[in-house]
């Protein structure tokens, strides 16, 4: 005997699975985009991924004033000395770049 409710249920499951896959694909793409983020500040290009943002917090917390510096490796592996205000500016740009990826309107 034919039961039309089975067809609808199968269609609903297929729709749900399609939506789940689309969401997973979106999240994967978003994670890859965040992992590859860079920002430019004062002519220097910085990695802006989440790990780099976390690492930027260390010199911000540890530097005792705005003039002491901390060694940092840029996205192209150039080593530079940065002061606390520079780290704060780069962290702010990095956070904004990540937010732009996460909150797409």
Could you report the per-residue pLDDT of 62-78, keeping only the tens digit for each?
A: 999 999 999 999 999 99
- Give the span between the Cα atoms of 49 and 52, in whole angstroms: 5
pLDDT of residue 58: 98
pLDDT of residue 4: 59
Q: Is 45 in contact with 76 (CB distance < 8 Å)? A: yes
Q: Is 59 in contact with 69 (CB distance < 8 Å)? A: no
pTM for the complete prediction? 0.77
Range of the domain at 1: 1-35
Q: Are 30 and 1 members of one domain?
A: yes
pLDDT of residue 18: 82
Q: Are 99 and 49 members of one domain?
A: yes
Could you report the per-residue pLDDT of 83-95, keeping only the tens digit for each?
A: 999 999 999 999 9
What are the Cα distances from residue 9, in Å, to 1, 13, 14, 23, 97?
A: 17, 6, 9, 21, 42
Question: Would you say residue 6 has pLDDT above 70?
Answer: no
Q: Is 96 in contact with 79 (CB distance < 8 Å)? A: no
- Total domains in the fold of the chain: 2
17 compared with 77, residue with greater pLDDT: 77
- SS3 state at 25: helix
For residues 25-29, give the mean pLDDT. Answer: 80
Q: Are 81 and 51 members of one domain?
A: yes
Q: Are 25 and 60 members of one domain?
A: no
Q: Are 45 and 11 members of one domain?
A: no
Q: Are 29 and 42 members of one domain?
A: no
- SS3 state at 45: strand
Q: Are 44 and 28 members of one domain?
A: no
Could you tell me the pLDDT band of residue 5, with boundaries at 50, 70 and 90?
A: low
């Amino acid at each position: 005997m034919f039961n039309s409710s089975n067809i609808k249920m199968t269609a609903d499951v297929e729709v749900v699975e399609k939506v789940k896959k689309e969401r997973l694909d979106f999240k994967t793409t978003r994670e890859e985009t965040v992992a590859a983020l860079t920002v430019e500040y004062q002519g220097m290009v910085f990695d802006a991924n989440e790990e780099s943002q976390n690492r930027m917090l260390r010199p911000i917390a540890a530097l005792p004033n705005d003039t002491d510096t901390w060694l940092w490796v840029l996205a192209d592996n150039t080593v530079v000395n940065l002061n606390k205000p520079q780290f704060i500016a780069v962290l702010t740009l990095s956070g904004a770049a990540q937010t732009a990826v996460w909150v797409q309107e």
